[in-house]
Amino acid sequence: MPKVLGLSFTPRIFERGQEYFEKGKVGPIEWDEQIFSATVQGSSDHEYRVRGILDEQQIKWITCNCPYAEDHELCKHMAAVAVALDHQGQVDPDKVLPLGDLLPTSWTEQLEIMAKTTPFITKLLASPHQVDKLRQAVKLYDDRHVVLEEQYHPKGQDKFEYMTLIMIDRVPHQVTIKYDGQKMDYFIGPQRRDDDLDLFAGVATVSLCNYYLAHQPKAETNQAGSYLLDMFDLASNHDRQLIRPYIELDYYSERTRLNFKVGTSDHMYKLQRPEVFVTVVKRGEPVILGKYFNQVIDLESLDEDSRYWFDFMDEMTAMYNTLTDQKHNYGSTDMYLMVEDVIADRVDDALASGREVYIDNRLNQLVNYSVDDRKLTADLGLELINDQPMLTMQLENLPDKDLIRGHERYYDFNGRDWVAYPNLNPTQISQAGLANHDHYTFDASNLNAFYRQVLPKIKDKVDLTLNEDPQIDQYILPDAKFTFKFDLAADAIEGQAMVQYQDQVYSLFEQLADDSQRDPTQEAPVKDVLVQYFPIEAVRQGRLILPLEEDQQVVAFLSQGLKRLEDFGEVQVTKPFQRLIGQIDHKPNLTVGISLESGLLNLSVAGEAMDSADIAQALRAYHERRPYFKLKNGDYMGVKSSTLTTLAQTLEDLGVDADQVDQGDISLPAYQALALNQSLQEQNDLTYQTDDHYAKLIRDFNQNQVGSFTVPQDLQAKLRPYQLAGFQWLMTLNHYHFGGLLADEMGLGKTIQIITLLLAINQEQKLPSLVVAPASVVYNWQDEFHKFAPSLKIATLGGGKVERRKLLAKSDRYDVFITSYDTLKRDIVLYDQLEFQVQIIDEAQTIKNARTIGAQTVKLIQAQQRFALTGTPIENRLSELWSIFDYLMPGFLGTYQRFSKRFEEPIIFNDDQAKRAQLSQLIGPFVLRRLKKDVLTSLPAKTEIIEYAEMSGAQLKLYRARADQLIKRIQTSDETDFKGDKIEILAELTRLRQVCCDPHLVYDDYKGKSAKLTQTIALIKDQIENGHKILLFSQFTSMLDIIAQRLQKERIQTEMITGAVDKQERQRRVKQFNEQDEPAVFLISLKAGGTGINLTSADVVIHYDPWWNAAAQNQATDRAHRIGQENPVTIYQMITKHTVEERIKELQDKKQALADQVLSGDQMSTTSFDKDELLAILEE
């Protein structure tokens, strides 16, 4: 039995152990004094651990964790380790054989070290025989077989991995070595059974040794130091940065791929991701390739070839991701470019121009380039099968499917030689249908079709050398010659179609008993053309008749059919027919007359030898997209005319149709003058003439000339300069019978400008005017009229419908009616017989949706002038703009469909700046918008506005019930009881004020709405949309919580300060609010934020409920309106109408002390006031 180091193994176990050792399956042997340990790779790639004790070259004890060892004393893994131990003991490190010509002698010491720690090295160098085998292997596996993948992977201070691929019969054999300077650990990939694993590992070891000597991985100058030396040209190994390509066959898919190496001449790295590399270089960032390359690549310093290949990568990686063939998972993670399609063409261009491309990653062997000029050849032959001819076509030089398919050429690459085929174009061959087969046959029934129709098209698509059998000619029918004759009869076009074969002439649609001498394949395309223009039943009867009443078909035949027939043969026409063609080619010449009189724009259209009926017919033909029309005298005329096109589009913009033109002169509202002028200015084809009134109107508006009008003496206010300008603008529009949109920012006094306008108009006109506003501001309008124009008779259409009907029935007694949108919808039938001088709509965005009943209702009112007010600019939703102008001046912007096509679609979808400017210029004279920051130049400027809210429904019932109860209590109490009940009366008065704010403050189960809260949220949204920051004050912190919840639902940024917030947090929130740029709302309670803070970033203040005195309210306002404020400040006071809040506001001026007492819970019990004063506050 074989015996090793004192252990006796069976022959079978020893042989297996010896085999395992020779195959390198025994890992490094570790020692702890006399105890050794090693792993052995089993047959199933599972590693087993062998441990034992070696004393004086005798194994005293040994064990293995494999299943076999559990049932037997000794296993093959123990035998493998024992052989390894015995082999180590037999090797004399001093007698290790050097590799001579394979490695420099400087490696001798290193090999001696590794021989002690690496069993494979010990075995590899133990005998001259082994060294000779290694020399032969290195010589055998030369550069054609060894593919080096030099990938440095830091594994600590001194470790790295090195991979070698040895190609045998195009099959890769991979060897990976981990080396730490002391020993080498090997991993050998799957091999064939007959391969010598030792030789593979030996070749890899020699490669690693040479690499190690060349690059000195353990050099103490690190990559950062080397880079710095390179920058200043001091490093001894400094070299220029290089980019080099190499092309290779993928040995698995057998496809050709292009790789790149980047680095310096002494060390080149395989590029892993070309697309990422290009991006990093363009950004000017360091390119990290490995230990010896961490540099910024300077494109300007690259040599010519490197720069060429960088540009190549840049272009090809971008193009690579757009190729239609995605089946190979192209993408940004690709390590190479597949050479095909356009990339193949570019590689060929590089090779043809002399660029160097290598065939492997060592860059020591170039691709051989050659050109093959062969062309695609087709041999046409003829065979007789059962006395019937059969045509054959055999293709020669058709590219093999294994060739590389470029976009322009085919190529071949065998791993070393590149061959280009410039005369074989893949695209042309595919388009000609010849890519998949090289042999074709055609029987007698298809012989002529192929030869006459298909073969000429193939020759047009691909460069084809044709060799024909002379016998073919006797089976090919002669060429067909076609003649077409056309005449104009009384009511139709009539024609004949003839076909001639040599000396024989036939009617094209003539059916003969023997048609053997005619070729249906030549006649069929002509028949197909004719049946497209002439009635098919007539054609089948051999007659070509096209009635003139079929105008669409007539024009199609004259404009298209004749030209198509000329492609087949000769077309002959009579003089009457030629005259018809001339009439249709004649185009209308039109002129427009324009005048302005009595507020109407008058248009007249005239044409040469055309009356209004003819012009209307021309317009109908244009809109129906017919190419010609028939005049009253029976002649025909073409529609394709620039003047007719311009006229049709201009009239469409004005809302004028052909029926109106048919009736003669056209009258339009005067406001259409500016729209007409813009349409005419956009074209140069249509001739027009204008009168002096029209010309003056256009001139005045183009020069922004606003008339000078006197402010009515009855106005109880002094207009600010910008308000006076607004009044003059409104009066100018009114003078010309134009409508207008006053879009001043909220708080600039749009109401006072309109009141001044109506007051001025009332001095001259007898008809009343109508103001339509949201219900929440109807009484605001009433109060403003009473305040600023008390001479006007105002009728507010509140109350029941019977009362409203009575007021409207007496319309001649009033100067202005005020109603709400909702009330107007309910009362619209009451307005049927009424006419107003001016109609005003407030908050015009209410009608932004033209389809709503509210928008349609306001447009039903009969008024001589219309104006609209809004504080919200309209910028992006152009349909809203159209709806408002459809109210102001119906037809000014055309129908919505025309407006959308002309402006909305180009602006919204194409960002057409020219159209945007055109629309702005068109509506500009009719829109006036000023901002506070532009017109309020004094600082600080403060505008105070009272916003009235009117309760309804459940809220109103709750308030009235509590108020009536409190009134009754006060009325029934004597003076003694009244003084004793002051605290309770104050508490109930506070609850009434809370009901005004929101009944939820008093009733937890309240299910209704709060009028003031709804109106306040709407006000906040409007201000936020205009870019304002807002302070909202309330003395009820629970009200602030409710408002905060609503604002969060509206996604409006909110901050809050109450008494529960400490000073530091308060200052943090104030700072955050002041520093943010976006619109936001700051909710503040009286005690927490009424004094001591600076919030000048806000320019809108809202007082949600009346405060305990005016001084406190002013102090709160001064949080924003103080030094440092750069914008005008607007203060809104929210008051619930017909409640204690309104009474308190009225008494603030008359009895300030009483108002203070009522609103101050701290002072009320000690203040002297009587029952009558308090009842005056509570009663309506």
**Model confidence band, residue 113 (pLDDT cutoffs 50, 70, 90):** low
Range with the lowest mean pLDDT among 122-136, 490-504, 1001-1015?
Answer: 122-136
742 and 684 fall within a common domain: no
With a CB cutoff of 8 Å and minimum separation 6, the contacts of 693 are 595, 596, 597
Beta-strand runs (E) in 456-535: 464-468, 480-488, 492-501, 504-507
pLDDT of residue 1009: 92
Q: Which of 78-87, 540-549, 1117-1126 has the highest mean pLDDT?
A: 78-87
Summarised one tens digit per residue, pLDDT across range 331-358 is 334 567 888 888 899 999 999 999 999 9
The continuous run of DSSP H or E covering 381 comes out as strand 376-385
More confident residue, 493 or 513: 493
Rounded CA gap, 684 and 700, in Å?
A: 23
Predicted pLDDT of residue 604: 84
Is residue 153 scored above 90 in pLDDT? no
User: Looking at residue 410, what is its pLDDT?
Assistant: 93
At 826 the pLDDT is 93
Q: Nearest 5 degrees, angle CA 664-CA 669-CA 670?
A: 110
Residue 222 within a domain? no
Predicted local confidence at residue 735, as pLDDT: 87
Among 123-132, 399-408, 641-650, name the most confident range.
399-408
Q: Widest CA span of the chain, in angstroms?
A: 139
- For every residue of 225-266, DSSP letters joined together read HHHHHHHTT--TT----EEEEEEEE-TTT--EEEEEEEEETT
From the number of C-beta atoms within 10 Å of its C-beta (0-12, 13-18, 19+), residue 11 rates as: exposed
Q: Are 102 and 210 contacting, i.e. CB atoms less than 8 angstroms apart? A: no
- Is residue 491 domain-shared with residue 399, that is, in the same domain? no
Last residue of a domain, one of 200, 215, 230: 215
Q: What is the pTM of this model?
A: 0.44
799 pLDDT more than 70: yes
pLDDT at 563 over 80: yes
Beta strands in 1020-1085 (DSSP E): 1030-1034, 1054-1057, 1081-1085
Q: 245 preceded by cis ω (within 30°)?
A: no
Predicted pLDDT of residue 760:
93
Whether 1005 and 1154 share a structural domain: yes
**Nearest to residue 408, comparing CAs of 435, 421, 426, 420?**
426
Q: 726 and 825 in one domain?
A: yes
The reply to whether 369 falls in a domain is no
509 and 602 part of one domain: no
Of the three residues 48, 74, 90, the one that is the final residue of a domain is 90
Question: What total of structural domains would you count in the chain?
Answer: 8
Q: What is the mean pLDDT of residues 504-521?
A: 78
- The answer on pLDDT for 93 being more than 90 is no
Verify that 612 and 532 share a domain, yes or no.
no
Confidence of residue 1163 (pLDDT cuts 50, 70, 90): very low
Q: Which residues pair with 11 in a beta bridge?
A: none
1020: tokens are 């906040």
Q: What is the pLDDT of residue 1162?
A: 36
Task: Assess whether 710 and 802 both reside in one domain.
Answer: yes
d(CA 516, CA 1114): 110
What pLDDT is stored for residue 332 in this prediction?
36
Q: Are residues 927 and 787 in the same domain?
A: yes
pLDDT (0 to 100) of residue 170: 52
Q: Residue 485: what pLDDT?
A: 93
**Mean pLDDT lowest for which of 628-637, 1017-1026, 1087-1096?**
1087-1096
| Residue range 631-685, pLDDT digits in tens | 777 777 777 778 888 888 888 877 788 888 888 888 888 878 877 887 777 777 7
**Long-range contact list for 1064-1073, CB < 8 A, 24+ apart?**
1066/1093, 1067/1093, 1070/1094, 1070/1095, 1073/1029, 1073/1097, 1073/1098
Burial category of 176 from C-beta neighbours within 10 Å (exposed 0-12, middle 13-18, buried 19 and up)? middle
Concatenated DSSP letters for 634-658? S-EEE---HHHHHHHHHHHHTT--H
Q: Which of the residue ranges 122-126, 551-555, 838-842 has the most confident prediction, judged by mean pLDDT? A: 838-842
Does position 276 have pLDDT exceeding 60, yes or no?
Answer: yes
Residue 231 lies in a domain: no
Q: What is the mean pLDDT of residues 1085-1111?
A: 75
Helix or strand (DSSP H, E) at 290? strand 286-290
Give the C-alpha separation, 359 to 256, whole Å: 11
| Amino acid 779: pLDDT | 84
Do both 968 and 1071 map to the same domain?
A: yes
Does 572 share its domain with 596? no
| In a domain? residue 488 | yes
What CATH number is attached to the domain comprising 1014?
3.40.50.300
Higher pLDDT: 858 or 1060? It is: 858
Is the pLDDT assigned to residue 1061 strictly greater than 90?
A: no
Are residues 550 and 465 located together in one domain of the fold? no
- Residue 1109: phi, psi to the nearest 5? -160, 165
Q: Which of 313-322, 595-604, 820-829, 932-941 has the lowest mean pLDDT?
A: 932-941
Q: Collapsing DSSP states into helix, strand and coil, what is residue 674?
A: helix
Domain with 813 in it: what CATH number?
Answer: 3.40.50.10810
Average pLDDT over residues 180-187: 63
What's the average model confidence in pLDDT over 262-267? 81
Query: Which of 749, 1106, 778, 1074 shows the shortest CA–CA distance to 936?
Result: 749
In this predicted structure, what is the pLDDT of residue 1148?
A: 57
Does 102 reside within a domain? yes
- Cα distances (angstroms) measured from residue 144 to each of 84, 137, 139, 169, 356: 35, 13, 11, 11, 18
| Cross-strand pairs, 439 | 394
How many other C-beta atoms lie within 10 A of the C-beta of residue 315?
14
Q: What is the mean pLDDT of the chain?
A: 80
Q: What distances in angstroms separate CA 40 from CA 52, 65, 82, 682, 1176, one per listed residue? A: 14, 11, 11, 91, 107
pLDDT, tens digit (0-9, with 9 covering 90-100), for 717-760:
999 899 999 999 999 899 888 999 998 877 678 999 999 999 99
Residue 1081 located in a structural domain: yes
Please give the residue that has the higher pLDDT: either 403 or 290.
Answer: 403
Is 167 in the same domain as 267? Answer: no
Q: Answer whether residue 224 is part of any domain.
A: no
DSSP reduced 3-state for 1027: coil
Model confidence over 205-261: pLDDT tens digits? 776 676 665 555 555 555 555 555 554 444 444 457 888 888 887 656 678 888 888
User: What residues make up the domain containing 20?
Assistant: 3-90
- In degrees and rounded to multiples of 5, residue 438 shows phi and psi of -115, 0
Single-letter code of the amino acid located at 8: S
CA distance 646 to 638: 15
Using the predicted structure, report yes or no on whether residue 873 has a pLDDT greater than 90. Answer: no
Q: How far apart are CA 837 and CA 815, in angstroms?
A: 10
Of the residues 674, 701, 728, the one at which a domain ends: 701
Q: Is residue 146 part of a domain?
A: yes
